[in-house]
Amino acid sequence: MSIRRIAIVRQRFNPAGGAERFVSRALDALASDGRVAVTLLARRWQGEGGGDRLTIDPFYLGNVWRDWGFARAVQQAVQQQQFDLVQSHERIVGCDIFRAGDGVHATWLAQRRRTLGTLGKLALQLNPYHHYTCAVEAKMFRHPQLKAVICNAKMVQHDIQQRFGLTTDQLPLIYNGVDTQRFHPDLRQHRSSVRQQFAIPDHAPLLLYVGSGFERKGVGRILSAVLPHPEVHVLVVGGDKHAARYQQQAHTLGLSTRVHFAGVQKEVRPFYGAADGLILPTLYDPFPNVCVEAFASGLPVLTTTQCGAAEWIVEGENGMVRDALDEAGWQAAVGLWLAARPQWPAWSAAARHCAEPYTLESTADALIQLYDKLF
């Protein structure tokens, strides 16, 4: 039996990043499969995962040159190494498989414009990085070498199909997997200890936010959403360079005793156990791992129509969906969630049920099946 050589490309590793966790899991799964030999091509990688490493770290100044230089160096390395299959998690023209974990850049820009005034839109339009990324994205999707685009949400699948004309067969849907043993409703054993740490009453309704990128993912919108509901507490887990600004905003709104900023946490699982729901009013998110982990932990999810996790939500059964910028809608959704408190145990069971099929093993199996199809 011949061993197939697969290259997986990811420029940088951020331990908190969803794409990186997907890559780590894929590396582990593929490295344990005797039919394939996996090599990771990366500028920097500090995570776990099986397989070999090949460092690709060309000199750069600025984000356009950074991405262009890395892509060019990867293309050269692939030619020298003669891999059987190249799976990229970066926008690199000529890869065999692209995982669209970040969605479509043009769509993200369209959503971003909704939040900007005239000057902000002009700055966005003149930014060379966005022009470069959109151009590379379009060229990559239309390149004859591209065999498949892994989509982690139907939302992304449909978007790529509409914008770039790819067929359904070229757009396999592989949802993010989750360790359903580590993320489980049994995490409620941490409820009291976490709440005591942040002075949150045991009986208080608690919504959890996990992630960086506070502006895009809507921490400010969370503050507005809970403002009319004095019994609701929020636990914000994650870091952002403008975190102090959001803490000041919470203070100005009189929310300092109800909105708790926990910062970056190495272990997030206890926080799922402490909460009664996850809130993520994100402006654009193909399918964040935090939502999969929340569902698996038995938490209903409140998120947006611009988030792939909405595909798993049955309104009023395991979560709620609103437009990211619908301020009144978000305030009403939190109110409806509160009013449904007697049904929370049923919501929790439904949340867990929808995540149970999407194990790490199922994700690995789906990848192997895709490779088998393409070889």
Q: Is the pLDDT of residue 26 over 90?
A: no
Q: Is the pLDDT of residue 38 over 80?
A: yes
Q: How far is CA 77 from CA 27, 31, 72, in A?
A: 19, 21, 9
What's the confidence (pLDDT) of residue 29?
65
Q: Is the pLDDT of residue 138 over 60?
A: yes
Percent of the chain with pLDDT strictly greater than 90: 81
Rounded mean pLDDT, 176-190: 96
How far apart are the C-alpha atoms of 42 and 96, rounded to whole Å?
17
What's the confidence (pLDDT) of residue 227?
97
What's the confidence (pLDDT) of residue 3?
76
2-6, 47-51, 67-71, 221-225 — which is least confidently predicted?
47-51
Strands 97-99 and 36-42: unpaired
Q: Report the mean per-residue pLDDT for the chain.
A: 92
Q: Is the pLDDT of residue 4 over 90?
A: no
How far apart are the C-alpha atoms of 213 and 262, rounded to whole Å?
15
**CA quadruple 114, 118, 120, 125: dihedral sign:** positive
Confidence tier at 204 by pLDDT (50, 70, 90): very high
What's the confidence (pLDDT) of residue 363?
87
Q: What is the pLDDT of residues 208-221, one digit of tens each?
A: 999 999 999 999 99
> For residue 156, how many other CB atoms are within 10 A of its CB?
23
Q: Is the pLDDT of residue 22 over 80?
A: no
Confidence tier at 78 by pLDDT (50, 70, 90): very high
Domains along the chain? Answer: 4-177+359-374 (3.40.50.2000), 185-355 (3.40.50.2000)
